[in-house]
Amino acid sequence: MELPVLNASQDSAPQGGCASHSCGSTDDQMDHLPESIRQKIYNHPCYSEQAHHYFARMHVAVAPACNIQCNYCNRKYDCANESRPGVVSEVMSPEQAVKKVMAVAATIPQMTVLGIAGPGDPLANPERTFQTFRELSEKAPDIKLCVSTNGLTLPDCVDELAKHNIDHVTITINCVDPDVGAKIYPWIFWKNQRLRGREAAEILIAQQQKGLEMLTARGILVKVNSVMIPGVNDEHLAEVSRVVKAKGAFLHNVMPLIAEAEHGTYYGVMGQRGPTHEELQKLQDACAGDMNMMRHCRQCRADAVGLLGEDRGQEFTMDKIEAMEIDYEAAMVKRAEVHAQIERELAIKEQAKTAKAELIAIQGLKSDKSATRPVLMAVATKGGGVINEHFGHASEFLIYEASPEGVRFIGHRKTTPYCEGGDTCGDGESALDQTLRILKGCEVVLCSKVGYEPWQPLEAAGIAPNGEHAMEPIEEAVAAVYEEMRSAGKLVEATETAQKAA
Amino acid sequence: MAFEIIESCVNCYACEPLCPNQAIYAASPHFMIAEEKCTECIGDHIDAQCVSICPIEGAILDEMGVALNAPGSLTGIPPELLAKIDQQGTAAVL
Ligand code: SF4
Ligand code: SF4
Ligand code: SF4
């Protein structure tokens, strides 16, 4: 995202500025949001593209029950709405969860957000969820709280949520049409009965929409998640986007269906496919015209701890936590210092970026607009907004699009790190093959280092490996490579993939 | 007159707060129904509450040992396919 220069105040989001256009870089998803909302999501690792390189979130698994069934979920595992399917979290009691959160917050001051996302539906477990929130608001008031839900009981929970000073709620809304819903939800539990089919979908949809309206009326931020299911709701999601935007949702995040037979879900065993990266991006682009899209959601594990994308869960097993002595008063002081330091850094980066963007606007990229085609580039990073991950160690790549308009963030693609993959990962596809597949459509991969072995296959796949920009800020490096490609005359012809990506 | 929870229960807690007789309790390795307390919800609800929310087919049995949520009844996966997956693993559907 593109934040204008930060003024004197350290702990608030930058005000106004650059409002008329997105200066230089076009990846800002918050430009169009009202100031009050920008303030709220300024340093939220899940929503602010800039902050998610610096701040961290965690989830605690205190809510095992669910009150509906989704066709992409196997209830032996975690809620597929917020986490990856096929993962089981160990369910914690609210007391354990509070202990864990405080231990993590004291050890990792960057941890600013605590979410409850499962393993079932948090609001189908109101007592466990709210006990956790209640104790945390009291004992650790500097942690933001968030919750995600399928929405079925949301209207009944709004008062309670408002009480606990919840900063935002995520609702998974896959449809606004009950006929579509009947193909996604086989049943719901409603007023002491199991209801099925269209009738069930109708109630679920009505509850979701009512909950959304009630929350926004109270000024509570609402993000909407949708799972893109080709042939079921893919065409319908643009409509969903319009509706939820009209009702005040601040972000719409379209996630790809992940359906594998071994997950044992209905879609998995029935052979329902997920969308390709191209289909997903096309839909995200189509919806983006309507509202702010979130492209950097990594579908993290519900119990992941640490900076986004980096899992430090092993440091905080229950027995290790029991052994820790936490002085949260002291920790809060340290946390405040660290947060202020990060915000100063963010401000400096923004200043540099704005200056740079102006420079580019004057002499470079902007001058011969539309003369060159857009290019997708993959970036390997451990965080911090710089290129600092070895190609072979990357378990995910950030995808950026460079065009005459500037550099914008497109999304994440996950893979098995090439160096850990061994020869094959089960189904005969090697880790490198998998990486090549997920990088389809990219023409460059930027990383701190690329080994000799993958070099050749990468080039053969039309992806130029590039280790020359190690430790450089991502967007600057992407812009620089784009400029190199332009001056080498590689960008004149508009290819079909590039047009699709545009 | 009582229902029974068996080992396929995934300990999701969904049924426990719904029981009008507090017959259901968390236990290891899985939730249990106290036989003497369970009334099959008769007199309280039209449908047995635990059976109506349980997401796992076959996890709750009636007095005769018959699954109250039959294979395929909750997920919509055809029972023949489920049987095949049970025998041959998910390779059966690939
Ligand atoms: S709401 Fe979550 S836990 Fe419940 S069925 Fe859907 S994906 Fe599974
Ligand atoms: S059938 Fe009714 S009374 Fe018996 S355990 Fe289930 S919920 Fe309780
Ligand atoms: S609802 Fe079913 S799976 Fe969940 S605890 Fe009760 S019996 Fe077990």
Percent of chain B with pLDDT over 70: 95
Residue A189's DSSP bridge partners are A194
Whether residues A272 and A389 fall in one domain: no
Quick: pLDDT tens for A181-226: 999 999 999 999 999 999 999 999 999 999 999 999 998 989 999 9
How many residues would you count in chain A? 502
- Please spell the DSSP secondary structure of A360-373, one letter per residue: HHHHSTTTTTTSS-
Range of the domain at A481: 370-501
Of A113 and A214, more confident: A214
B61 — phi, psi (to 5°)? -115, 155
Residue A48 resides in a domain = yes
Residue nearest to atom 6 of ligand 2 (CA): B50
CB contact A125 to B (< 8 Å): yes
Q: Is A102 in the pocket of ligand 1 (CB under 6 A)?
A: no
Whether residues A419 and A483 fall in one domain: yes
**Whole-model pTM over 0.95:** no
Of all ligands present, the nearest one to the C-alpha of B60 is 3
Distance from CA of A419 to the nearest CA of B (A): 28
- Please spell the DSSP secondary structure of B8-43, one letter per residue: T-----SSGGG-TT--EE--SSS-EE-TTT--TTTT
Per-residue pLDDT band for A24 (boundaries 50, 70, 90) equals very low
- CA A82/CA A116 separation, integer angstroms: 10
Q: Is A121 in the pocket of ligand 1 (CB under 6 A)?
A: yes
Of A50 and A173, more confident: A173
Domain boundary among A322, A346, A361: A322
The CATH number for A229's domain is: 3.20.20.70
Work out the angle at residue A229's Cα, subtended by the Cα atoms of residues A223 and A235, and round it to the nearest 5 degrees. 85
What's the pLDDT at A84?
53
Per-residue pLDDT band for A346 (boundaries 50, 70, 90) equals confident
Cα of A78 vs centre of ligand 1, distance in Å, is 8
Closest CA to A148 of A170, A124, A130: A170
Cβ–Cβ under 8 Å, residues A436 and A323: no
Whether residues A249 and A376 fall in one domain: no
* Chain A environment of B71 (Cβ under 8 Å): none
Per-residue pLDDT band for A28 (boundaries 50, 70, 90) equals very low
Q: What is the mean pLDDT of chain A?
A: 79
Of all ligands present, the nearest one to the C-alpha of B55 is 3
Domain boundary among A322, A354, A384: A322
Of A399 and A355, more confident: A399
Domain boundary among A260, A295, A322: A322
Instruction: Please tell me the total count of domains within chain A.
Output: 2
State the residue for tokens 């539309």.
Answer: A370
Distance of CA A273 to the CA centre of its chain: 22
Residue nearest to atom 7 of ligand 2 (CA): B19
Contact between A186 and B76 using a beta-carbon 8 Å cutoff:
yes
Name the closest residue on chain B to residue A127, using Cα atoms: B17
Contacts of A429 (CB under 8 A, 6+ apart): A437
What's the pLDDT at A23?
28
What's the pLDDT at A498?
44
Contact between B12 and A262 using a beta-carbon 8 Å cutoff:
no
* Chain A environment of B14 (Cβ under 8 Å): 64-67, 120, 124, 189
What's the pLDDT at A207?
98
Residue A222's DSSP bridge partners are A169
Joined tokens for residue A99: 């202990």
A241-245, A396-400, A409-413: range with lowest mean pLDDT: A409-413
The CATH number for A463's domain is: 3.30.420.130
Residue A162 resides in a domain = yes
Contact between A64 and B47 using a beta-carbon 8 Å cutoff:
no
- Which of B17, B56, B77 lies closest to A75 in CB terms? B56
Mutation probe of ligand 3 site: the residue of B30, B52, B56, B62 with most atoms within 8 A of C-beta: B56
Q: What domains are there in chain B, each with its CATH number?
A: 1-68 (3.30.70.20)
- CA A229/CA A259 separation, integer angstroms: 10
Closest CA to A463 of A375, A384, A401: A375
- Cα atoms found within 13 Å of the Cα of residue A419, Cβ hemisphere only: 12
Query: What SS3 class is residue A170?
Result: strand
Residue A27 resides in a domain = yes
Cβ–Cβ under 8 Å, residues A260 and A86: yes
Name the closest residue on chain B to residue A194, using Cα atoms: B52
What's the pLDDT at A192?
97
Contacts of A110 (CB under 8 A, 6+ apart): A54, A55, A56, A307, A338, A342
Joined tokens for residue B41: 């919800």
Whether residues A245 and A389 fall in one domain: no
Of B53 and A111, more confident: B53
Going by the DSSP 8-state scheme, the letter that residue A318 receives in this structure is: H
Joined tokens for residue A311: 């899992």
- Which of A65, A69, A124 lies closest to B74 in CB terms? A69
State the residue for tokens 């870089």.
Answer: A25
Contact between B47 and A65 using a beta-carbon 8 Å cutoff:
no
* Chain A environment of B93 (Cβ under 8 Å): 261, 269-271
What's the pLDDT at A424?
41
A279-288, A309-318, B24-33, B69-78: range with lowest mean pLDDT: A309-318
Of A111 and A496, more confident: A111
Contact between A269 and B90 using a beta-carbon 8 Å cutoff:
yes
- Cα atoms found within 13 Å of the Cα of residue A465, Cβ hemisphere only: 20
Residue nearest to atom 4 of ligand 1 (CA): A66
Whether residues A121 and A255 fall in one domain: yes
Max mean pLDDT among A45-59, A130-144, A395-409 falls in A130-144
Contact between A187 and B56 using a beta-carbon 8 Å cutoff:
no
Whether residues A28 and A169 fall in one domain: yes
Quick: pLDDT tens for A439-457: 999 999 999 988 888 899 9
What's the pLDDT at A85?
52
Going by the DSSP 8-state scheme, the letter that residue A59 receives in this structure is: E
Per-residue pLDDT band for A420 (boundaries 50, 70, 90) equals low
What's the pLDDT at A34?
61
A259-263, A354-358, A466-470, B62-66: range with lowest mean pLDDT: A354-358
Residue A349 resides in a domain = no
Residue A345 resides in a domain = no
Whether residues A299 and A391 fall in one domain: no
- Which of B46, B52, B76 lies closest to A189 in CB terms? B52
How many residues would you count in chain B? 94
- Which of A91, A128, A189 lies closest to B53 in CB terms? A189
With a Cβ cut-off of 6 Å, ligand 3 is lined by: B 5, 9-15, 31, 50, 53-54, 56, 59-60
Percent of chain A with pLDDT over 90: 37
Quick: pLDDT tens for A143-183: 889 899 999 999 999 999 998 868 789 999 999 999 999 99
Q: Which atom of ligand 1 is found nearest the CA of A149?
A: 1
Query: What SS3 class is residue A252?
Result: strand
- The ipTM is 0.95
